Amino acid sequence: MLVEIPDILTADEVAHAQQALVAADWVDGRVTAGHQSTRVKQNQQLPEDSPAARELGELIVRALQQNPLFVAAALPLRVFPPLFNRYEGGGSFGNHVDNAIRQVSGTPLRLRTDLSATLFLTDPADYDGGDLLIDDTYGVHSVKLPAGHLVLYPSTSLHRVTPVTRGARVSSFFWIQSLVRQDAHRTLLFDLDTAIQRLNQDVPDHPCAVQLTGVYHNLLRQWAEL
């Protein structure tokens, strides 16, 4: 399931992030690439311990925790501290699948990457190219969102970023270990959750809402891993 989540950050937060990122020290993006993706990655990244990455990363994680759509779609157990990248001057990232396990640098913490997320931080009018192309069973999805919006997709997906031919594309990217490992299970829970919320809105106090909410929690109980 691919989900676009609007307005993770407010316009003020986006402006703050853009300002901090312009002034930050960028390094070659291959520092965090796995063996296979080193050969196809041409971008820049902020070091994981850079103060700007830490500060903005905490801002993003707080915003995610308060976003009901993100929580419902991801059912997050752990969120990797957000990283930041920049593509310009023809920079791109060829086809790859993200590494399955990620170590949080400087800690013993590891997480399984169930979901990959990209939070766009540049206005799409300010650059050409830089589309995130994600393959799934139904074909290729091209994603290029307004600044402050996020796309969430299964980390099992083959994906790439097309060359940026004008301007610079800055975004944050990170991974989520979900309470629910299987994308198919998460999708069912998300659909059920969405339908229950709509039912509660359209027909308040309908007796079926209690029963359906029970089904939701009993499925989550079957599938959740803590």
Binding site for Ni ion (CB under 5 A): 98
Judge residue 141's burial from the number of C-beta atoms within 10 Å of its C-beta, 0-12 exposed, 13-18 middle, 19 or more buried.
middle
- Residue 210 carries which side chain, given as an amino acid letter? V
Residue nearest to Ni ion (CB): 98
Cβ atoms < 10 Å from Cβ of 103: 12
In angstroms, what is the minimal distance from the CB of 161 to Ni ion?
8
Question: Backbone phi, then psi, for 89, in 5-degree steps?
Answer: 55, 45
- Minimum CB separation of residue 38 from Ni ion in Å reads 12
- Distance of closest approach, residue 97 Cβ to Ni ion, in angstroms: 8
> For residues 133 and 212, which CB has a smaller minimum distance to Ni ion in the complex?
133
Complex with Ni ion: residue 98 or 114, whichever CB lies closer: 98
The DSSP result for 96-148, as a single string, is: E---SEEEPTTSS-EEE--EEEEEE-S-GGG-EE--EEEEETTEEEEE---TT
Smaller CB separation from Ni ion, 98 or 193: 98
Q: Specify the residue, 88 or 98, whose C-beta has the smaller distance to Ni ion.
A: 98
CB of 96: closest distance to Ni ion in angstroms? 6
